[in-house]
Amino acid sequence: MYDAFISYASGDFALAEKVFEGLTRAGFRVWFDRARLRPGFDWHSEIETACEASLVMLPLLTPRWRASPWACYETHAHESIIPLLLEGDIETVGTPPLRRFHAYRVDAARILDHDWSPLVEELRAKSEQLEMEASRRVTKLAAERPPGLEEQRERRTRTRRRSRPRSCRD
């Protein structure tokens, strides 16, 4: 599982690399294609799997991101998104589905000196929130077990034990 997935257009590789470095330095597990994809991997499958395994999607919004169908595709299906606005404004570089999210502005010209602490705090808060929600879902599922489920399991276990050869029971 990853804390974040960086979605970027290939023309923004240098910017994505700096975002990756800043977040990994802060202790986050970040999926970044150049760090994870290896020769011979099914890149399409690997990226889809990584998107699903990431708590938060971080699209790096630039005009190049907006023009990349693949970057838009990998972002729009995610439930938890923090857009990073690197160039332009949300109305011109963000797609309609992303305009509902408050974007975190990053000055691309000063990315080496950028203060990542507000984003780091937001990612930590988002991760904690999503982990609590997942825990609640598991608890709810456990509480909603159909009546008699435990008795059915116990009957199956007894039946299996009786059907084993004698040497297995001894």
For the chain, give every domain's residue range: 2-143
The span from the CA of 166 to the CA of 60, in Å, is 65
Residue 79 confidence (pLDDT): 82
Domain 2-143: CATH superfamily is Toll/interleukin-1 receptor homology (TIR) domain (3.40.50.10140)
Phi, then psi, of 30 in degrees rounded to 5: -120, 130
pLDDT in tens, 68-122: 887 888 887 788 889 999 998 888 898 888 888 888 888 888 887 888 888 888 8
Where is pLDDT greater, at 14 or 167? 14
Q: In the chain, count H helices and then E strands.
A: 9, 5
pLDDT of 145 over the 70 cut: no
| Least confidently predicted of 12-26, 54-68, 115-129, 132-146 | 132-146
pLDDT of 37 over the 60 cut: no
The span from the CA of 11 to the CA of 32, in Å, is 15
Phi, then psi, of 83 in degrees rounded to 5: -70, 135
Where is pLDDT greater, at 148 or 52? 52
Query: What b/e readout covers 14-39, taking b as 16+ CB neighbours within 10 angstroms?
Result: ebbbbbbebbeebebebbbbeeeeee
Against a cut of 0.75, is the pTM above it?
Answer: no
Q: Dihedral angle at the C-alpha atoms of 43, 49, 53, 57, nearest 10 degrees?
A: 60
